[in-house]
Amino acid sequence: MYITELKNLIEPLICQDNNELYYEIRQLPETKAGGIDLLVMCSEEVFGYVVGKAGLIANSLRTLLNIRGQVDHNKVNIKFEVI
């Protein structure tokens, strides 16, 4: 559920006419805290579009998914990584 919503938020940021999307989203195993951990892995060319300058877009994505997570009483953590 959260992966689909995150994918819907990321695709417009990096979608270009003739380029493929070079990213993957995985859900990490649950921890003791009980939150949902997501890992966004993307290529170097796309990383800047997904994270944004000074991490502004990444923080916005975290905020939006945490708002969505409050409906289900979940805390959503998102980590970004370059492949």
pTM above 0.95, yes or no: no
**Segment holding 27, helix H or strand E:** strand 23-27
**What is the tens place of the pLDDT at every residue in 2-24?**
889 998 888 888 876 555 667 88
Question: What CATH code is carried by the domain that includes residue 45?
Answer: 3.30.300.20
Query: What tokens were used for 6?
Result: 């995150």
**Domain count of the chain?**
1
**What is the tens place of the pLDDT at every residue in 37-79?**
999 998 888 888 889 889 899 999 999 999 998 888 888 899 9
Query: Domain range holding 35?
Result: 2-82
Backbone angles phi, psi at 53, to 5 degrees: -70, 125
